[in-house]
Amino acid sequence: MTQEKRLRRLRRSMMFLNAQRPALLKDAYIYKPDSLLLDLEDAVAENQKDAARFSLYNALKTVDYRGVERIVRINGLDTPHWQEDIRVAVAGGADGIRIAKCETAQDVQTVVKHIEMAEEEFGAEKGFTLVMAALESPLGILNAFDICKACPERMLGVAISGGDYRKSMQASYNPGGIEMLGGRANMLIAARAAGVQCFDTVFTDVDDEEGFRQEVIQNKQMGFDGKSLISPKQIAIVHEIFTPSEKEIRTAERIVRAVREQAAQGIGVFTLDGKMLDIAFVPGAERTIELAKASGVYEGDL
114-170 tens-digit pLDDT: 999 999 999 999 999 999 999 999 999 999 999 999 999 999 999 999 999 999 999
Higher pLDDT, 131 or 300: 131
Closest CA to 231 of 17, 12, 6: 17
d(CA 13, CA 236): 9
Q: Which CATH class is domain 3-242?
A: alpha beta
How much is the pLDDT for 267? 84
Name the residue ranges covered by the structural domains of the chain: 3-242, 246-294
158 to 32, 102, 140, 259: CA distances (angstroms): 22, 10, 10, 33
Give the mean pLDDT of the chain: 96
**What is the identity of the amino acid at 180?**
M
Rg (CA), the chain: 20
At 171 the three-state DSSP class reads coil
pLDDT for 243-286, tens place per residue?
A: 999 999 999 999 999 988 888 898 888 888 888 888 889 999 99
Residue 19 contacts residue 41 (beta carbons within 8 Å)? no
Query: Own/partner pairs for 172-180, CB < 8 Å, 24+ apart?
Result: 175/211, 175/214, 177/215, 177/218
Q: What is the pLDDT of residues 77-86, one digit of tens each?
A: 999 999 999 9
**pLDDT for 263:** 86
pLDDT at 273: 84
pLDDT score of 191: 98
Supply the pLDDT for residue 300: 87
Q: Reduced to 3 DSSP states, what percent helix, strand and coil does the chain have, rounded to the nearest 5? A: 50, 15, 35
Kindly report, residue by residue over 14-29, the tens digit of the pLDDT.
Answer: 999 999 998 889 999 9
pLDDT digits over 181-219, tens only?
Answer: 999 999 999 999 999 999 999 999 999 999 999 999 999
Residue 269 to residue 278: CA distance in whole angstroms: 5
| Cα–Cα nearest to 15, from 273, 268, 285, 234 | 234
d(CA 167, CA 191): 23
pTM: 0.94
